[in-house]
């Protein structure tokens, strides 16, 4: 693979990580706590739904870009010769993508529907489930970054 293509794939891969994992850090530790602090549920739930709509659309682009670029980089070396850490990153990336798919197609529509109906208890419950799964994915994402860095540290 030409070095410029390899550099482009690595760039796409890292941008995907920044968007997805960085976005989860922001949503989990900045956006949600601030919304809870400043907005009552009838204002907070539509606000968080709108923010998640935008974020999830970005993640829906970042995930295939991240998985595709990672797989292309892995195939360049070959599965047999790739470091074990790359296999671990692929596995955790696929698990994270599955969790995101569940959030995006299962939980997020429930949140949107509850907010549209002004069913604040159902919306709060859906948002809480999303928060829990995003926290899980964030932990996986940070672990995956640590695994990736371990291949460069030697």
Looking at the 3D structure of the chain, how many domains does it have? 1
The answer to whether 64 and 94 are in contact (CB under 8 A) is no
- The confidence score (pLDDT) of residue 104 equals 98
Per-residue pLDDT band for 90 (boundaries 50, 70, 90) equals very high
- The confidence score (pLDDT) of residue 151 equals 77
Residues 40-60: tens digit of each pLDDT? 988 999 999 999 999 999 999
| Predicted model pTM | 0.92
Residue numbers of the domain that contains 145: 3-152
Residues 58-76: tens digit of each pLDDT? 999 999 999 999 999 999 9
Integer Cα distance of 65 and 115 in angstroms:
31
């Amino acid at each position: 693979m030409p070095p410029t293509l390899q550099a482009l794939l690595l760039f796409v891969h890292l941008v995907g990580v920044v968007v997805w994992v960085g976005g989860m850090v922001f949503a989990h530790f900045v956006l949600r706590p601030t919304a809870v602090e400043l907005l009552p549920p009838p204002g907070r739930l539509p606000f968080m739904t709108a923010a998640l709509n935008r974020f999830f659309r970005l993640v829906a682009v970042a995930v295939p870009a991240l998985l595709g670029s990672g797989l292309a980089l892995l195939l360049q070396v070959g599965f047999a010769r790739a470091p074990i850490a790359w296999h671990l990153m692929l596995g955790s990336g696929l698990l994270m993508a599955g969790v995101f798919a569940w959030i995006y197609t299962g939980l997020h529509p429930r949140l949107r529907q509850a907010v549209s109906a002004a069913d604040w208890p159902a919306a709060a419950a859906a948002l809480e489930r999303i928060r829990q799964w995003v926290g899980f994915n964030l932990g996986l994402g940070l672990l995956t970054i640590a695994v990736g860095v371990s291949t460069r540290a030697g």
